[in-house]
Amino acid sequence: MELFKIYERYIYSICYSYTQNEQDSLDIVQEIYMKVFKNISSFDEDRPFRPWIRRITVNTCLNFKRNIKSNVISLNYEYASGLCLKDTIVSDYNLEEEVQKKELKKIIKNGLINLPSNYRMVIALRYFDDLSYLEISELLNRPLGSIKTDLYRAKAILKKQLENDMEV
Residues 123 and 64 in one domain: no
Cα–Cα dist 36/98, whole Å = 44
Residues 99 and 161 in one domain: yes
* Predicted local distance difference test score (pLDDT) of residue 75: 47
Write the pLDDT tens digit of every residue in 17-43.
Answer: 888 889 999 999 999 999 998 988 888
Residue 87 lies in a domain: no
* Predicted local distance difference test score (pLDDT) of residue 88: 41
- CATH number (domain holding residue 143): 1.10.10.10
Q: Say if CB 120 and CB 75 are below 8 A apart.
A: yes
- CATH number (domain holding residue 17): 1.10.1740.10
Q: Which domain holds residue 147?
A: 95-167
Q: Which of 68, 84, 109 is the last residue of a domain?
A: 68
Residue 90 lies in a domain: no
Q: Say if CB 94 and CB 122 are below 8 A apart.
A: no
Helix axes of 144-167 and 133-140: crossing angle, nearest 10 degrees: 110
Residues 64 and 99 in one domain: no
Number of Cβ within 10 Å of residue 103's Cβ equals 12
- Give the dihedral of Cα atoms 80, 14, 146, 84; nearest 10 deg: -40
Residues 118 and 60 in one domain: no
Helix, strand, coil percentages for the chain (3-state, nearest 5): 75, 0, 25
Residue 88 lies in a domain: no
* Predicted local distance difference test score (pLDDT) of residue 123: 86
Query: What is the domain count for the chain?
Result: 2
- Give the dihedral of Cα atoms 142, 143, 144, 147; nearest 10 deg: -50
* Predicted local distance difference test score (pLDDT) of residue 87: 41
What does the angle CA 1 – CA 26 – CA 65 come to, to the nearest 5 degrees? 125
Residue 83 lies in a domain: no
